[in-house]
Amino acid sequence: MAVVVEHASDQDFARLADPYRRELFAHCYRMLGSVHDAEDLVQETYLRAWKAYDRFEGRSSLRTWLHRIATTVCLTALDKRRRRPLPTGLGGPTAEPEGELADRPEVPWLEPVPDALVGVHDPGTVVEVRESVRLALVAALQYLQPRQRAVLILRDVLRFSAAEVAETLDTSVPAVNSLLQRAHAQLARVTPSEEKEKVSELLPAQRETLVRYVDAFESYDIPAITSLFTADAVFEMPPFAAWVRGGEHIGRLIAARCPASGAGDMALVPTAANGQPAFAVYLRGGDGLHRAFSIQVLDLSPRGGAVTHTAMFFDTTLFAHFGLPATLPPRG
């Protein structure tokens, strides 16, 4: 017979459940690809858990029980939502970097997640968490059917047993194993092989690249910007559908379409997203103030440290999630 756990108060629930909040946020983010959605779904998870807490019998750990609720909440939400792509998931690169940019606000674009919200810096789990929220992986997860996505995350990231996943999804262990096999096959088709490498701390050459990156953008030095990218680097900018490949095309795109016109127009503030280096970009207005403009998330080559990918997100509502101000104080 199961032992019924006694629950003394709401304070007990908060004390026991709150330590899992960042882990649950990361889970919802992987499932939905959106910081905004993850925030709402974690709140719903805790509300459902609080209402049902007096019926929690302790047959599984509290962590497993909370993730079971969160997974159900996410799958319900995905019934009403389309997958969140990056521009690279919608077609090939443009051959005309100077061309008009097609704004696609109707597309529910993938969003970056601040490292602080998903516990990337937690000792002992930093490498695993960083790997599991990398932008390329979260983008690839969007190609999976929702139940495949749930199985892969629960089994491969959270290390649930097949039996636990089967109970969570109200299915059988063979069905779970079949879903996982199909998820692995699909992920292998859409994930670049280099994204499967383990992530380590930044190398000295990579750190030097980041310093040069800031200098090049803040001085609006197009040749210097161009030199930072590899020959097959990708630069994409949701909500614009067009993207470019290669350092030369990236430089031409920035020269033609960036609203900055000279040194000092852009200010870059270091941050971290998806376990990757990132920058908050501020653009100077006519009044001299630098205002929130975009969040850039970078991939760096382990060989030489050059930039292999930049995703530039123009949704300025993300700044608040990163704990960043809407404007910068005047620079001396």
Q: Select 10-196's CATH number: 1.20.1250.20, 3.50.50.60, 1.20.20.10, 1.20.140.160.
A: 1.20.140.160
Which amino acid is located at 2 in the chain?
A
Per-residue pLDDT tens for 188-242?
Answer: 887 765 544 555 688 999 999 999 999 999 999 999 999 999 999 999 999 999 9
What pLDDT score was predicted for residue 122? Answer: 58
Tell me the pLDDT of the chain averaged across its residues: 91
Q: Is the pLDDT of residue 243 over 50?
A: yes
Closest-CA residue to 237 (of 294, 306, 318): 294
Per-domain residue ranges for the chain? Answer: 10-196, 204-328
Class of domain 204-328: alpha beta
Percent of the chain past pLDDT 90, that is, above it, reads: 78
What pLDDT score was predicted for residue 7? Answer: 45
Per-residue pLDDT tens for 261-278?
Answer: 999 999 999 999 999 999
Domain 10-196 and domain 204-328 have a common topology: no
Per-residue pLDDT tens for 274-308?
Answer: 999 999 999 999 899 999 999 999 999 988 889 99
Distance CA 60, CA 48 (A): 17
The contacts of residue 43 (CB under 8 Å, 6+ apart) are none
Token duo for residue 44: 């719903």
Mean pLDDT of 103-116: 95
Q: Residue 211: which H helix or E strand, with range?
A: helix 204-218
Is the separation of the CB atoms in 228 and 203 below 8 Å? no
